[in-house]
Structure 1
Amino acid sequence: MKTDLSTFTGEGSPGFIAKVKYFIWLLFSNMFFLTNIPYPNILKVSILRYFGAKIGHHVVIKPWVKIKFPWKLKLGNYVWLGEEAWIDNISEIIIGNHVCISQGALLLTGNHDYKKSSFDLMTRGITLEDGVWVGAKSTVSGGVILKSHSVLTVGSFTSKDLAPFTINQGNPAQVVKHREIN
């Protein structure tokens, strides 16, 4: 067998209303999020809430943050989304309180089944518990839970859950030490 992308069907074609909703979101996203214009956070949060995101208080959203589907996003209180963070949430992403997602980090809920000739789409959610820090240019893949106060350091990758209060580094990320907070 060989890969045959002509047989790919994805998760099914969205209906007309879903396509219109996504198109309108893309317009707002490009106007208010994917820009250097420093729109106030309250405006960005209001737009995300209008599109179905569940968002806590005191959320900071820097310029160039890319969010695929706001209606599949839950952010707790005091969440920071750094410049060029990419929340590729085909499945639900839940982010707890006091979480920092640094610049250029990628939360990726979709992948493909390379074992099937049709290269089927596979999606799995991501959960970042309270106090998590995802370092700059790091990647978290679908189906992963970053447990309370775990850290994924700069440029690291994980496809596995991270234990609470650990600092994890590399590709694949490995525990390098215990996180102590004073």
Structure 2
Amino acid sequence: MIQQLDRYRTPPSWSPGAPLLVRSLWFGLGSPLLSARWLPGSAWRVALLRGFGARIGSGCRLKPGLRVKFPWRLQVGQSCWLAEDAWLDNLAPITLGDRVCLSQGTYLCTGNHNFRSPGFDLRLGPITIGSDAWIAARAVLAPGTVIGAGAVVALGAVVSGQVPAGAIVRGNPAVVVGER
């Protein structure tokens, strides 16, 4: 099959979820500030994301280098940690429970493409991470992934689908290797 990328069209049912002015302000000002490494501090990052529609609980720590595609599609519980270079590529909603830790370089991907379609159709799926879960450094979560409460996704794991509560997964594709 030949990819015909010139045939790609955004699905008519999909919307960026915010008016053009809000998106322009986010991409031109908000997003660069959020990810800025030269600006220390977490509280102002939380306030910035909230100002653009994210729902973020109290006691959260957000590190420099954090990237969020659409803050208005982000819900973060209480006392969460979002580390350096975590990338929340949320074309669809991302929901984090309480006390979730996203370590350095994690990638949460809610959108992908249908490689069997010549037009490379967009496929979306929300990501949900239960309370007390830890997503270790450089782990990748695919569209539609659900991480159960208290689960651990090990260093560099690639997860697609469901991870049971309290499970420890590792590898590519990630498999259960124990319980927390």
SS in 1 for 2:92: coil
Equivalence for 1:7: 7
Could you tell me how far 1:22 is from its partner in structure 2? 1.5
Equivalence for 2:164: 163
Amino acid at match of 2:71: P
SS in 2 for 1:33: helix
**1:87-166 aligned within 5 A:** 87-166=88-167
Could you tell me how far 1:114 is from its partner in structure 2? 0.9
SS in 2 for 1:2: coil
Residues 1:164 and 1:14: Cα distance change in structure 2 (over 3 Å): closer
In 1, Cα distance between equivalents of 2:90 and 2:153: 19
CA RMSD of aligned residues (A): 1.6
In 2, Cα distance between equivalents of 1:171 and 1:14: 32
Could you tell me how far 1:51 is from its partner in structure 2? 0.5
TM-score, normalised with respect to structure 2:
0.93
In 2, Cα distance between equivalents of 1:160 and 1:14: 24
**1:168-179 aligned within 5 A:** 168-179=169-180
Could you tell me how far 1:11 is from its partner in structure 2? 2.9
In 1, Cα distance between equivalents of 2:58 and 2:79: 6
In 1, Cα distance between equivalents of 2:132 and 2:178: 16
In 2, Cα distance between equivalents of 1:3 and 1:148: 39
Could you tell me how far 1:14 is from its partner in structure 2? 6.0
Could you tell me how far 1:18 is from its partner in structure 2? 2.7
In 1, Cα distance between equivalents of 2:54 and 2:11: 22
Unpaired runs of at least 5, structure 2: none
Residues 1:14 and 1:107: Cα distance change in structure 2 (over 3 Å): closer
- Deviation string, structure 1 residues 32-70 (Cα, Å, up to 9, x no partner): 222222443221111111100011000100000000000
